[in-house]
Amino acid sequence: MRLILLGPPGAGKGTQAVRLVERLGIPQLSTGDMLRAAVSAGTPIGLKAKAVMEAGGLVSDDIVIGIVADRIEEADAKRGFILDGFPRTVAQAEALDRMLEAKGLKLDSVVELVVDQDALVHRIVKRAEETAAAGLPVRKDDDPEVFKTRLAAYNRDTAVVSPYYEKTDRLKRIDGMQPIDAVTEAMKAAIGG
Span interacting with ligand ADP, options 26-34, 96-104, 107-115, 159-167, rule CB under 6 A = 26-34
Is 19 a catalytic site residue?
Answer: no
Q: Decide: residue 82, CB within 10 A, 0-12 exposed, 13-18 middle, 19+ buried.
A: buried
31 binds ligand ADP (CB under 6 A): yes
Helix (H) or strand (E) holding 8: none
> In the 8-state DSSP scheme, what is residue 12?
S
Query: 48 with 63: CB under 8 angstroms?
Result: yes
> In the 8-state DSSP scheme, what is residue 143?
S
Is 139 a catalytic site residue?
Answer: yes
CA pair distance 79, 182, nearest whole angstrom: 27
Q: Which is nearer to ligand ADP, 92 or 109 (CB)?
A: 92
Instruction: Using CB under 6 A, pick the residue from 2, 20, 86, 176 that binds ligand ADP.
Output: 86
112 binds ligand ADP (CB under 6 A): no
Residue 179: CB minimum distance to ligand ADP, A: 20
Is 167 a catalytic site residue?
Answer: no
Active site positions, annotated: 13, 88, 127, 139, 150
